[in-house]
Structure 1
Amino acid sequence: MDEIHKDFTYSSDKALSHFKDDSFSRAPFAKRIAEQIESFVNADSMVFGINGKWGEGKTSVLNFIEKYFEERNSSDILTIKFNPWLFSNEEEMLTNFFYLLADSLNKKLETKKELTGSLLDDYVKPIMGIASMFPGVPDIGNQLSSFFVKANINELKERIEKILLEEKKRIVLFIDDIDRLDKEEIYNIFRIVKLTADINYITYILSFDNDLVASALKDKYGSDNKQAGYEFLEKIVQVPLPLPKIEFSELRSFTMKQVEDVLYKAEITLTSQEVQEFITYFQGLEPFLDTPRSSILFSNIIHFSLPMLKNEVNIVDLLLVEGFKAFVPNLYKLIRNNKNLFLDNANKKYNEEEKKNELDKKKRIIEETIELYSENEQRGLIYIINHLFPAVEPAFEKFSIFRGDSLQWKKEQRVCSELYFNRYFLYTVSSSDIADVRVKGFISNLRNEDVDISAEEFASLIESSNDKLILNKIKNFIDTINSSQKKVLCKVLANTGHLMSNPNTFLGLDNPLRTTASTMVELIRTIENDEEKNELSQDIIIESSSPILATEYFRSLNIAGIREANDASDNVIDISALGALLSNQLVTELRTMLESDPKKISSSIDFPSLIYICKEYGQKSEPDSIIEEIIDEDKLYAIVLIESFLSTVYGNPSVTKGNVDKEVYKKIKSNVDINLIKSAIDDIYPIEDVDSMSFPENDNSRYSTVAQFLWQYEQDVE
């Protein structure tokens, strides 16, 4: 966990300064403004107004304009940034405005005319009070006193114009974040601009939210009509330029890329089904995704939570809960502080009236929390709430029937599980070590008559730590486990196989599911009685809650060198009989999933292993029949089938799928009806004009996989 945190980088939401970082076409917009300014031939002053909401990129545009002049090395353009936040009143702003111009020109704006004492009070005293704000300018207090005692504003303006004319320079003056000032300061800024806008050779670029500034200005006029504020702006800003609208598709892609980066850095891999689930339900939050800043806020929040809760919660649920935190904080607080409201099942009430009252209460409280949002936004939020909390769904869906499955929610580490809910809000669960005494206590309680209880306890161990750590601890204590306990432990591991993570790691190293299989093989090898070995192996195959675990156990038996019954050995397993049993189990499990939940097939079945085991040990025609049924159910499984035969390429920094090369194609063809796959692809993913002379490049996309398969198919046909 610490290693992961070292690589993490939070986004500071800092405005962009380099064109290469531009994701929303702000750079071309800024370049056009800069080109317009550069093309000015007359001496007239000009005021540009960059208008946009907070977080839309106004400051980035200003930075890009400045960058453009810098890269062009425009000798006749002098850029200056004026920060009104440093000054507390109009006098300080005005005097420092002129000092900034003079200092930037590196000239002293002094005349020989002495000013009256009142001018000293108006300008010198405010300047002396803020001298410390310019630590880089030596003795600024004395300089400014001298400067402003000897000149009045009109003469200063004339002197500045003369210098600019003599130097053949145009000043581009940036004033940013005007809408973040208070109402009085906003008014002062625009008064200063109005007062100084007649100075030749100066171009002002102001950035602000038009609506916020207009509202502040109308209050200054004592008017309830915001139009008065807009009219004031129109008198000052000569070139109003609203920021180009960010296409939602761009903002959405930007957000998904942020999420992808966080998942990658946290070393979290979502299955295709999980990705689709996240995308589907995140649509309910998309109306709140209005600026790049909102996307970055969400990214920073999950940067914190995902590494801490990795392997301990359902990642899709966590992303959605954290979405509430980022975009709808009042709803997030309601959920966090009202666990029972979202988890309690109204069906537990004794009568229909109590049930109805409970559901009405849920609905009323939630609707009151989100009532300020639009109807469309409310629909999206309720859509997500119903998914995350099935106990709430009957309150909003008239014909919905609450079907609670606490065991399944527990297996999936869902936020709607009583066991997992608090983890989503407390961030206290970590991958820290677990006391040896707890692991030893679990082992000492292993009894044949209590397999289910031991399985629950083992699941609890995993929940309080992590599967990899617990497995390693158990392996450390194998020598202390008696024969009876070993048998129970094998059954416990088989029964809890669905809890084991199965990451795609190099050579399967540090893969908890494979470690579980090898641990069971290690336990089997220490049992002396051959008949008990065979019986226990059969129990493991039959009781395994994960088809992949059962398959991996069978494979591990072969790798471990446990031999056939006709070999003289102390380690005797009837591999043929076990393979036939596994073949039957896999086919039965597959047909069950096909009928009940086809979406689980791709993540629950290793197709190449299934085909091999069935053809080697079971009914050879069975794989063809069931694969045809699967593809008839969903043509996309034809592509999933191809992908299952691809090798995994481990590179830096990414893990990619290998090519559909000639050997891979032959392997697919030897195991599957190749024409069945081709026909399915033609129906759902037609790719025309495959270049017969050139093997398609692998860009790690499904498109390139299909294109490579079709290329091999065409070569084969020819």
Structure 2
Amino acid sequence: MTSALSFSNDRPLTHRDEDRLNRAGFADRIAAVLAALPEGSGIVIGIYGPWGDGKTTVLNLLRANLARNDAMVVRDFNPWRLADDDSIFRGFFSILAEAIGVSLSTTLEEATAGAKWWARRLRWVTKPLGQFSKTAETADGLLASFGEIARKGDSVRLEQLRNRIVTLLNGTKTRVVILIDDLDRLDKQETHTLFRLIKACADFPNVCYVLAFDDTVVSKAIGERYGGSDEPAGRSFLEKIIQVPLQLPAAAREDLRSLCFARVDRALVAAGIELTKNQVGEFVASFDRGASIRLTTPRAANRFGNGLMFALPSLVGETNPVDHLLVEALRAFFPEVYEVVRDNHADFSGVEENVPGNGDQTPRGAQLLEPVLKTMPQDHSDAVKALIIDLFPRLSGAYGHSGYGSDWLSSWSDGQRICAPEYCPRYFTYSVPRDDVPDSEVTAILDVARGGDGESLDGRLVSQLHGPKAGRLIEKLRAVEKTVNPIAAETLAVALSKTGNAIPNPHAFFAVAEPPTQAAILISNLLKRINHPASRVAAGRRVLDAAEPLWFGAECLRWMHVTDEPEKDASNTFTSEETAELRFALVHRIKSRAADGAPLFDPDVPQEAALLFEWWRAEGREPVQDHLVRVFTTDPKQITKFFLSQASTLWGSGSATPEVGDLGADQLKNIDLVIDVSLLADLVRSHCAGNFEESEWHSDRDRPPEERLAEQFMYVFNKRKKDKAAPDSNGQVEVAVSEAESGPDVVDPKP
């Protein structure tokens, strides 16, 4: 059961008891320095560190420390939240004035006379805006507005204001501390404006500034404003303002690791996932070999944890939890690598196949990664390779380790590994693909089957047996067929037998790999789970009684007994005698359907004709022949449809659609099993058009197959009468018909 999701909002810490990276000690030292300054002195302290390293946390802890000191007045100024230079200008002096507790206004008495003078004197603060900024006109506009306000009210002359502030500050024991954060988020102009203001006010007595920013980012921004136009020039400028530059102490690696794993634990708990001891070991070892090299800030740990909080719940039970943790680590710490893998995951999952003639045997996945790895330091590149090998063993050979063959695919699939091709897409879509079946659904199907609720089971199966999902469900059930509970096995076998109409039945070159045949094999193997022979036969009878459509029952029967070789008897679900008993049960249904007028063959459903041959196997040719003669005389068009159902199938190179093949000696033998070909020849002469007395073998694909097949049948039949060799279905004269009449086992009937 999942719990409420708890994302880390990346909010800086505010309480000492939350400090896991020992930032409090650093903040305490800064507070002690500020408290120990001589009376009347001020200072500008800079706290340097990259984004996400905890600078704001240090300011929060510093503020909390100073708040306990009555001799300190602490104020925050965050220029990033202000819209432009003018807002920064006003906001800065407003905060400063409020902290000092001095009004910037006096009475009306000197307003009009002194307005222009004040404006002139104030330009020593704002003039740099005009020199180094495109917003100088805005600053001049501010001064013009100031003159207009001065004429209507009263404003303090700048020099008098400075003297008044200095006098007041020298006369108090209270120290003002201005905390300024997020300077590194300002644009270049705003950065320049703020530092000019700080420089102008840095010598106020008893006023201290603590600035937190990424010194590299700010130096580059300021550097473009000064001579060198680069980072060193910016640093030179900072040295004139920052009196005490402090690099934020690097968090101890173990502290960051502990924080990161705490975020992992929180995400696992929220998703309701509990790792085994071995899984914990696998994750920690892989994380330390790979992702940990880029775990350098608390923010990185939080971002990784948030990614897990989002990704894990949607695929609980559908992916390998260790692989899911690691691929999210790849995304969080090596996003440039993750993008390559995500966009080309088929080149990373599975195993590498050696293609003859391919001069470059380097796996394509490794080739795709190479340009990215070249941009990294060697230790980072090695870390990526270690993580990739753990996730995708296919590339292990490319990185100096042993390779993996196709014999590993089954175990990877059983483990829901990302390296299993059928599971890999899930890790990048945060869901089970639409053409796949959730493992949780397979588990639910088996649970329902174990409970014996056939009606509920029917609904669950039909909801999944459509489109590509049908083959995937059958594949997943086949993966567990040898471990299914016997009670569940019978319930599931019977339920599956009812779903033949729902299972896609495409024309296919290799029909045994298609869903109907695989479902029939699954049913046979499920019945094999029933130990008691009589119970197993009874279950097989229920399967054949329930099978729909009827041809699917014949397909199931076909796989219940697959060989008469004694040494291979273990492959059979039923003995020959048991199979014969089951066949009679199926034939009872076949005869009932024939009585209703069904022809028992269909050119569009190749398996339908198997009903004729199962009937023949049970009762011989005579009753089947009577049925066919009745069908053909009632509707002569059924003759050519029968030929179409018996003809071979041709697959053109690169074609996904089969063509109607030919009727040769093989097909003639099969047809003769269910109807005397002499009798059928008479029916052809009576009801079909064509040259049948002097027929020749034609394999002209431009002719309608109905005409071509009827003439081919008559040609082969006439050759048979003359006891000469007849063409096989490929048009080759190879089989002497007289030698091919040894019995029904020579050529298998076409199902």
TM-score grouping bracket, smaller chain normalisation: 0.5 to 0.7
Gapped regions of structure 2 (runs ≥ 5): 127-136, 459-475, 493-528, 537-751
1:382 paired residue number: 385
1:150 paired residue number: 155
Deviation (angstroms), 1:120: 6.2
* 2:393 partner SS: coil
Distance 1:429 1:375 in 2: 36
1:222-233 → structure 2 map (5 Å cutoff): 222-223=227-228, 226-233=231-238
Residue 363 in structure 1 maps to residue 366 in structure 2: yes
Residue 77 in structure 1 maps to residue 72 in structure 2: yes
Which residue among 208, 216, 239 is the counterpart of 2:213? 208
Distance 1:141 1:537 in 2: 104
Deviation (angstroms), 1:250: 1.1
Distance 1:22 1:537 in 2: 71
Relative distance call for 1:209 and 1:264 in structure 2 (3 A) is: same
Deviation (angstroms), 1:184: 2.3
Q: Which amino acid aligns with 1:84?
A: P
* 2:2 partner SS: helix
> Deviation string for 1:93-146 (max 9, x for gaps)?
33432222223444422245433348569899979999xxxxxxxxx9999879
Deviation (angstroms), 1:149: 5.5
1:116 paired residue number: 115
> Deviation string for 1:159-178 (max 9, x for gaps)?
32333344532110011111
Relative distance call for 1:259 and 1:461 in structure 2 (3 A) is: same
1:462-477 → structure 2 map (5 Å cutoff): 463=439, 465=441, 467-468=443-444, 470-472=446-448, 475=451, 477=453
1:495-574 → structure 2 map (5 Å cutoff): 496=480, 535=532
Does structure 2 retain, via aligned residues, the 8 Å contact 1:218–1:226?
Answer: yes
Does structure 2 retain, via aligned residues, the 8 Å contact 1:79–1:173?
Answer: yes
1:342 paired residue number: 348
1:701 paired residue number: none
Does structure 2 retain, via aligned residues, the 8 Å contact 1:414–1:421?
Answer: yes
Distance 1:499 1:326 in 2: 39
Relative distance call for 1:298 and 1:30 in structure 2 (3 A) is: same
Does structure 1 retain, via aligned residues, the 8 Å contact 2:104–2:155?
Answer: no
Does structure 1 retain, via aligned residues, the 8 Å contact 2:350–2:420?
Answer: no
1:183 paired residue number: 188
Relative distance call for 1:50 and 1:495 in structure 2 (3 A) is: closer
> Deviation string for 1:490-516 (max 9, x for gaps)?
xx999729999xxxxxxxxxxxxxxx7
> Deviation string for 1:506-530 (max 9, x for gaps)?
xxxxxxxxxx79968999xxxxxxx
> Deviation string for 1:317-350 (max 9, x for gaps)?
111111121111121111111123213644252x
1:324 paired residue number: 330
Distance 1:142 1:299 in 2: 55
1:8 paired residue number: 5
Which residue among 38, 43, 48 is the counterpart of 1:41? 38
Relative distance call for 1:476 and 1:95 in structure 2 (3 A) is: same
Relative distance call for 1:326 and 1:481 in structure 2 (3 A) is: closer
Residue 406 in structure 1 maps to residue 409 in structure 2: yes
Which residue among 315, 320, 324 is the counterpart of 2:321? 315
1:91-490 → structure 2 map (5 Å cutoff): 92-112=87-107, 113-114=110-111, 115-117=114-116, 150-223=155-228, 226-283=231-288, 284-343=290-349, 345-349=351-355, 351=356, 353-354=357-358, 356-357=359-360, 359=362, 361-397=364-400, 400=403, 402-429=405-432, 463=439, 465=441, 467-468=443-444, 470-472=446-448, 475=451, 477-478=453-454
Distance 2:9 2:483 in 1: 37
2:468 paired residue number: none
* 2:312 partner SS: helix
Distance 1:34 1:371 in 2: 45
Deviation (angstroms), 1:474: 5.5
Deviation (angstroms), 1:381: 0.7
1:595 paired residue number: none
Does structure 1 retain, via aligned residues, the 8 Å contact 2:46–2:245?
Answer: yes
* 2:348 partner SS: helix
Distance 1:148 1:95 in 2: 18
1:611-690 → structure 2 map (5 Å cutoff): none
Paired positions, count: 466
Q: TM-score, normalised by structure 1?
A: 0.58
> Deviation string for 1:287-320 (max 9, x for gaps)?
1111010010000000000011110001111111
Distance 2:237 2:377 in 1: 32
* 2:219 partner SS: helix
Distance 2:423 2:152 in 1: 69
Q: Which amino acid aligns with 1:55?
A: G
Residue 63 in structure 1 maps to residue 66 in structure 2: no
Q: Which amino acid aligns with 2:390?
A: H
Distance 1:533 1:517 in 2: 5
* 1:465 partner SS: helix
> Deviation string for 1:216-239 (max 9, x for gaps)?
222211415533322222221111
Deviation (angstroms), 1:362: 3.3
Distance 2:530 2:430 in 1: 44
Q: Which amino acid aligns with 2:253?
A: F
Distance 1:388 1:334 in 2: 14
Relative distance call for 1:498 and 1:374 in structure 2 (3 A) is: farther
Relative distance call for 1:163 and 1:294 in structure 2 (3 A) is: same
* 1:405 partner SS: helix
**Hey, which bits of structure 1, 4+ residues long, moved more than 6 A?**
120-130, 140-148, 479-482, 492-495, 497-500, 516-523, 536-539
Does structure 1 retain, via aligned residues, the 8 Å contact 2:99–2:176?
Answer: no
Deviation (angstroms), 1:36: 2.0
> Deviation string for 1:676-713 (max 9, x for gaps)?
xxxxxxxxxxxxxxxxxxxxxxxxxxxxxxxxxxxxxx
**RMSD of aligned residue pairs (Cα, Å):** 4.1
Relative distance call for 1:54 and 1:517 in structure 2 (3 A) is: farther
Q: Which amino acid aligns with 1:4?
A: T
2:29 paired residue number: 32
Relative distance call for 1:44 and 1:418 in structure 2 (3 A) is: same
Deviation (angstroms), 1:91: 5.1
Relative distance call for 1:142 and 1:295 in structure 2 (3 A) is: farther
* 2:340 partner SS: helix
Does structure 2 retain, via aligned residues, the 8 Å contact 1:90–1:188?
Answer: yes
Q: Which has the larger radius of gyration?
A: 2
Gapped regions of structure 1 (runs ≥ 5): 131-139, 435-459, 483-491, 501-515, 524-531, 540-718
* 1:336 partner SS: helix
Distance 2:262 2:487 in 1: 37
* 2:228 partner SS: coil
Does structure 2 retain, via aligned residues, the 8 Å contact 1:128–1:141?
Answer: no
Q: Which amino acid aligns with 1:34?
A: A
Deviation (angstroms), 1:538: 14
Does structure 2 retain, via aligned residues, the 8 Å contact 1:161–1:201?
Answer: no
* 1:265 partner SS: helix
2:602 paired residue number: none
Distance 2:73 2:413 in 1: 64
Does structure 2 retain, via aligned residues, the 8 Å contact 1:183–1:217?
Answer: yes
1:655 paired residue number: none
Identity of aligned residues (%): 30
> Deviation string for 1:227-272 (max 9, x for gaps)?
3322222221111111122111111111112111211221101111
Does structure 1 retain, via aligned residues, the 8 Å contact 2:392–2:419?
Answer: yes
Deviation (angstroms), 1:279: 1.1
